[in-house]
Structure 1
Amino acid sequence: MRVKYLSNKCLLNIAILILFAMLSIGYSQAQTSDDSLEKRVEKDIVWIKQWTKSNVPDFHLVKILSMINSVNIAKEEKDSILYFYPTPYWGGMNTIIAKPNFQSLSPSELFTYCMINYEWYNQNCSGRIVTKEDEAQLYGTFYRKYREFVWSDRQLNALKQHRDTIFHLLRNVISKDGFIGTNSLLMMESLNFREGIPIVLDQLDKKENNDLYTLLMLFMMKGDYAKFKKTKIYEDIYGPESHIRSAIDNSQENRDLIRNMAKSFFEQNDE
């Protein structure tokens, strides 16, 4: 009889899922040990900053967390991995506040609410685990890397209605924190904030981040930038033969080319 063994990759997936579940349950248990709203909000702030590489706005933060925590969620759901998902790269609440409360949010309150809370959950059984191997590649999309928790349609529609204000708030938060967090990265992509290209270019000088190059390429692709579409980079990651895992080498040549084209793309559209 032939014995089949699980691959190392499969075992790694299982181990990571078990770890996430343990961390998630541990956090929820710690949260429910003290039912006072003030303590829960205080713990949420610590959790968000500890477990996520996100920009956390100060605008009305305590008010928004109190509003989120006031939602009556069944204990079995709150103890599940679907409610708190403390990955090193992405973490967020998965709570839906009542419609009247959502509609009452000011633009700055809406911004904070969306930056820390994602109303929709996409089950992801085939996601790509981020490993050291990814450092040698530049991908053309964030697909299935971060997006298990996503903004709902009502969140995205509301953000788009206040697009200029949201961009101003986002720019201030990034400037204050000194980095582009995962939530800011995805908001810039979702709202196509190509006017924020200079912000991204400034961050490239501080610390190399492959995802920032992905964001620049997405801006140019969505903007149908002719100069970019003529390059081999575009052909490899967005062309007819491309697929969701298409990537290019993370070489200095490619990084410089993306940086320079993005700068030209911004200057062309800023005229």
Structure 2
Amino acid sequence: MKRIAAALMLVATCNVCWAQEDEKWQEPSKATVAYQEYREKITRPPYGLEKVSLLIKKIKDDDESSTLPQKDYLSLSLREKFTYHMIHAESYSQNCDAMPPVPESEKKIFAQLPDPFGEYSWSERQMNYFKAHRDTMVALMTESIGRSNRVGVNYKKAIVEINGKEMIPLLINTYNRDHKDKDILTLLMILMKNNEYTPFLTSASYKKLFSDAETSYRAFLNFNTANEELIIQRATTFYNGLPKKG
């Protein structure tokens, strides 16, 4: 209950901040609301999902912790741990990160990805799993994306965390199926930025999106064929220049 009360107070505070920051805020259209919901959807891996969901349910009502007890955690297989991490974040922090839908967000390519878990983030234990089992994560996400043709926001964030640059062809192929998930284009740009790909770092797109870290969370490119094709072309060239495993 303490956490719920704190969250409600935070929402009220943030709403005031947003109102003061942007007095011209507009009521989002149905298309914008629908796209925002689409952006925030996570992918729920099938590996031991029922078992993992029951374990998470046991800790949901705990006001003091959102962390699975070590004994239960160690009882999970490698794949079940992957499912646990992808659908549950253990670390709670009271941040004013959530933003109302940006008008016409369906027509924008944003600099940053949405948060998959609201005020929660992956804990040190979870990040250690990512580092220790990077190849497993790439394999399981590749398998899952190939099956569902969808890259949930949790997968996108995980790909950033493990620097999954070898997944670029899969990401592009998934995007090209319907050209709907513009956050895949965002992910491609983040991968190029994080890997310091010079042609991107010296581009007008980088300057507009990432040159100012304080405003980057609100920055975007207009979605059009030219920007779409340029991002994909740059990401493809970046990928083709990566050292390949022998």
TM-score class, shorter: 0.7 to 0.9
Counterpart Cα distance in 1 of 2:116 and 2:150: 19
Q: Which residue of 1 aligns with 2:125?
A: 154
One-letter identity of the residue aligned with 1:218: I
After superposition, residues 228-267 of structure 1 pair within 5 angstroms as 228-239=200-211, 243-244=215-216, 245-267=218-240
Q: Which residue of 2 aligns with 1:179?
A: 150
Q: CA deviation at 1:181?
A: 1.3
Counterpart Cα distance in 2 of 1:255 and 1:172: 25
Counterpart Cα distance in 1 of 2:239 and 2:113: 21
Q: Classify 1:161/1:139 alpha carbon distance in 2 versus 1 (closer, same or farther; 3 Å).
A: same
Counterpart Cα distance in 1 of 2:223 and 2:50: 41
Contact persistence 1:160–1:191 (CA under 8 A): yes
Counterpart Cα distance in 1 of 2:24 and 2:183: 26
Q: Which residue of 1 aligns with 2:53?
A: 65
Q: CA deviation at 1:102?
A: 2.2
Contact persistence 2:114–2:153 (CA under 8 A): no
One-letter identity of the residue aligned with 2:181: N
Q: Classify 1:253/1:242 alpha carbon distance in 2 versus 1 (closer, same or farther; 3 Å).
A: farther
Q: CA deviation at 1:104?
A: 4.2
Larger radius of gyration: 1
Contact persistence 1:122–1:147 (CA under 8 A): no
- Cα-to-partner distance string for 1:106-153 (whole Å, 9 max, x where unaligned): 321110101111112333435322244222322211266865332111
Matched, 1:98 2:69: yes
Q: Classify 1:252/1:146 alpha carbon distance in 2 versus 1 (closer, same or farther; 3 Å).
A: farther
After superposition, residues 115-134 of structure 1 pair within 5 angstroms as 115-125=86-96, 127-134=98-105
Aligned CA RMSD, in angstroms, stands at 2.8
Which fold has the larger relative contact order, with Cα–Cα distance below 8 Å and residues 6 or more apart in sequence? 2
Q: Which residue of 2 aligns with 1:163?
A: 134
What is the number of equivalent residue pairs in this alignment?
Answer: 210
Q: Classify 1:132/1:199 alpha carbon distance in 2 versus 1 (closer, same or farther; 3 Å).
A: farther
Task: List alignment gaps of at least 5 residues for structure 1.
Answer: 1-5, 14-51, 79-93
Counterpart Cα distance in 2 of 1:123 and 1:139: 24
Task: List alignment gaps of at least 5 residues for structure 2.
Answer: 1-18, 29-39
Counterpart Cα distance in 1 of 2:60 and 2:174: 40
Calculate percent identity across the aligned residue pairs.
Answer: 26
